[in-house]
Structure 1
Amino acid sequence: MSFLNRLLSLVAAGIFCLTLSAVPGWSAEPQRTRGQTVYVPAYSHVFTGPRANPYNLAISLTVRNTDPSAGMTVTAIDYHDHNGRLIRRYAPSPLSLAPLASSYVHLEEKDTSGGFAPKFIVRWEASRPISAPLIEAVMIGATSGQGISFVSRGQVLQER
């Protein structure tokens, strides 16, 4: 490979790395924060067939502390219906999660109180900046030998 080709390859690699660093949410360093408010979309059912029959789904919301050396506190897990109305609060008191610990909330398939597009609003905090937790909703349904499952990841609405 000639000197000019090597130089062009290095320049192209540098431009690629600079381009990636400008992408929102992408960073070589993990995001560290002292707290967030996170929106997590969920589905209590999906519609199937030509008559749009509802297919009920169980929902499991998981909160995973991804930091290996620091704990965090979940201060709120609020469940809202498809119109945005608060249905119930799942964390009436703060919930401490040790490093790498997880917690969950489970709604049964028969719970359709949230309508077709419920959501969770999760608030958490830490005493010092930590790696942001992974907050997801897992939807699962199984009827008559047929099954469906998928995951919906939370989106940060606000940093503390």
Structure 2
Amino acid sequence: MDYKRKVSLYFITACFFFSIAHEKALCSEPVLSKGQTIYVPAYSHIYSGDQEHKMLLAVTLSIRNTDMKHSMRILSVDYYDTKGKLIRKYVGNPVSLKALESTRYVVKYNDTSGGSGANFIVKWESAKAMNAPMVESIMIGAQTQQGISFTSKGQAIKEHQ
């Protein structure tokens, strides 16, 4: 077998095994959890242009119970500023979410206390192992005739037992 054919055969074989591994990863069962601490980026403003013009944004933190059978409890939703200083606690007592139920917490458009590097720390728990919730922030703002909206996904930073 000549050199080009060998290289082609190796390449095709590698692609085949990579596609099988990738397909298996996509089809794998979701990881179940009994609770997590989740970090969620949030932006009370962003900068635009060379002169760093501040564009104010309203922030909505969305927490969605993605499990079809089990309820969960939100233990805390804390809002931190760019320097990591706690600004606000949104949850006094635990909040229950039934299967597929959602809730939201809002940082008002004119509240710039968080800054461009603000974040939420969300803690949740469940009596039974369940699909982890979808936690994301949605930012939206408009000035003159310019509008912007975008989302940031939460990331688990601690698994609870």
Task: Name the structure 1 match of 2:122.
Answer: 122
CA displacement, residues 43-87 of structure 1 (integer Å, 9 cap, x when unaligned): 111111221110000000000000011100000000000010100
Task: Name the structure 1 match of 2:7.
Answer: none
Classify the secondary structure of the residue corresponding to 2:30: coil
AA matched with 1:110: N
TM-aligned CA deviation for residue 17 of structure 1: 2.6
AA matched with 1:54: K
Aligned residue pairs total 150
The verdict on how the C-alpha distance between 1:140 and 1:15 changes in structure 2, with shifts beyond 3 A counting, is closer
The verdict on how the C-alpha distance between 1:33 and 1:27 changes in structure 2, with shifts beyond 3 A counting, is farther
Task: Name the structure 2 match of 1:16.
Answer: 19
TM-aligned CA deviation for residue 110 of structure 1: 0.4
Task: Name the structure 1 match of 2:138.
Answer: 138
Q: How many angstroms apart in 2 are the aligned matches of 1:111 and 1:85?
A: 15
AA matched with 2:95: L
1:108 matches 2:108: yes
TM-aligned CA deviation for residue 143 of structure 1: 1.6
Runs of 4+ more than 2 Å apart: 9-21
Task: Name the structure 2 match of 1:50.
Answer: 50
- Provide TM-score, normalisation by structure 2: 0.86
1:92 matches 2:92: yes
- Provide TM-score, normalisation by structure 1: 0.86
**Pairwise CA RMSD of aligned residues?**
2.1
Q: How many angstroms apart in 1 are the aligned matches of 2:60 and 2:82?
A: 17
AA matched with 1:125: E
TM-aligned CA deviation for residue 11 of structure 1: 8.6
AA matched with 2:83: N
Classify the secondary structure of the residue corresponding to 1:50: coil
Q: How many angstroms apart in 1 are the aligned matches of 2:92 and 2:105?
A: 13
Classify the secondary structure of the residue corresponding to 2:106: strand
Counting aligned pairs with the same residue, the percent is 40
The verdict on how the C-alpha distance between 1:98 and 1:55 changes in structure 2, with shifts beyond 3 A counting, is same
